[in-house]
Structures are given as C-alpha cells and as structure tokens.
Amino acid sequence: MAVNWPQKVLKPFIDKGLSMAVNLVEVVAKNSPYQGRKIVVYDSKIIENLIRG
C-alpha cells in the first residue's frame, strides 16, 4: 500500500490572478471608535476566496 500523505507540496487556495492589494479608507463616522483612523477594506472576491480556503 502506497502512502501519499502528507503532500510534499501544498497547492495555493487563492487564484493566481487574484491581487491581494488592499484599500485603505479613513473612518469619518462620529460614533465609531475608529474615527480618524485608516482601516483596511477587502474586495468581496478576496473574502470569498478566503472563506473557501
């Protein structure tokens, strides 16, 4: 019986063409604890790929 686990090389779970560039936005909501800070906003495509991973 051949043993083929664990794999020698892990395959990436995110598409090769997908850019992980992020958008920084400044929070201006007066009732937010993050007011005046810059936060990272991810594209929905990136979030979908991370969930599937």
Confidence (pLDDT) at 45: 79
Confidence (pLDDT) at 27: 95
How remote is the C-alpha of 11 from its chain's centroid? 17
How remote is the C-alpha of 9 from its chain's centroid? 22
- Count of C-beta atoms within a 10 Å radius of residue 15: 9
Token pair 């686990």 is found at 5
Confidence (pLDDT) at 38: 94
Q: Which amino acid is at 31?
A: N
pLDDT in tens, 1-53: 566 777 677 676 666 666 667 789 999 999 999 999 999 888 887 788 778 76
Helices (H), the chain: 44-52
Contact 23, 41 (CB under 8 A): yes
Confidence (pLDDT) at 32: 94
